[in-house]
């Protein structure tokens, strides 16, 4: 696949998550709740997580933001569901490295998250992409 086609594919994966967010909403019972915002633009995320026996059993998010922040939240909830807390934290670390343009472990299949790789070339958007992941890290540590 040529670079342009890959770019196009990644763009359409991002837009699909933005227009059809996975795990949108809020968990009502026994959920850890985290609210965070991006002070530079006012975008916000409301994340609820159900963690049981060290496993992230469920995750939902709500909020407002740009396509990068909302698609990243959608992808993040999708990939961490069913993962152990330490795996979710490892994924957050891998994602952070990806955003910084650093080498990262290939231990996990990153699924749709791969589509956000290109964000590392736009420093102003990195905070958009990492908002949901920071909320998740805070939530699972609680």
- Stretch touching ligand FES by CB under 6 A, among 23-31, 35-43, 79-87, 88-96: 35-43
CB 95 within 8 A of CB 69: no
74 lines the binding site for ligand FES (CB under 6 A): no
Helix, strand, coil percent values for the chain (each to nearest 5): 55, 20, 25
**Footprint on residues 80-119 left by ligand FES (CB under 6 A):** none
Minimum distance from residue 66 beta carbon to ligand FES (Å): 3
64 pairs with which residues across the strands? 44
Contacts of 7 (CB under 8 A, 6+ apart): 118
Length of the chain in residues, anyone?
142
**Chosen residue from 6, 24, 31, 41 binding ligand FES by CB under 6 A:** 41
Which residue is it, tokens 């922040």?
69
Spell out, one character per residue from 116 to 135, where the chain touches ligand FES: x when CB under 6 A holds, - when not.
------------x--x----
Question: Which parts of this chain interact with ligand FES (CB under 6 A)?
Answer: 38, 41, 43, 65-66, 68-69, 128, 131
């Amino acid at each position: 696949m040529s670079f342009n086609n890959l770019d196009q594919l990644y763009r359409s994966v991002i837009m699909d998550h933005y227009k059809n967010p996975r795990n949108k909403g809020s968990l009502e019972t026994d959920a850890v709740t985290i609210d965070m915002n991006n002070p530079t633009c006012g975008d916000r995320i409301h994340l609820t997580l159900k963690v049981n026996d060290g496993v992230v059993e469920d995750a939902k998010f709500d909020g407002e933001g740009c396509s990068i922040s909302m698609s990243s939240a959608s992808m993040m909830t999708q990939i961490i569901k069913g993962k152990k807390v330490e795996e979710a934290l490892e994924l957050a670390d891998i994602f952070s490295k990806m955003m910084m343009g650093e080498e990262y472990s290939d231990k996990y299949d990153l699924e749709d998250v791969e589509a956000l790789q290109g964000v590392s070339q736009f420093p102003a958007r990195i905070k958009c992409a990492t908002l949901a992941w920071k909320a998740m890290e805070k939530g699972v540590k609680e």
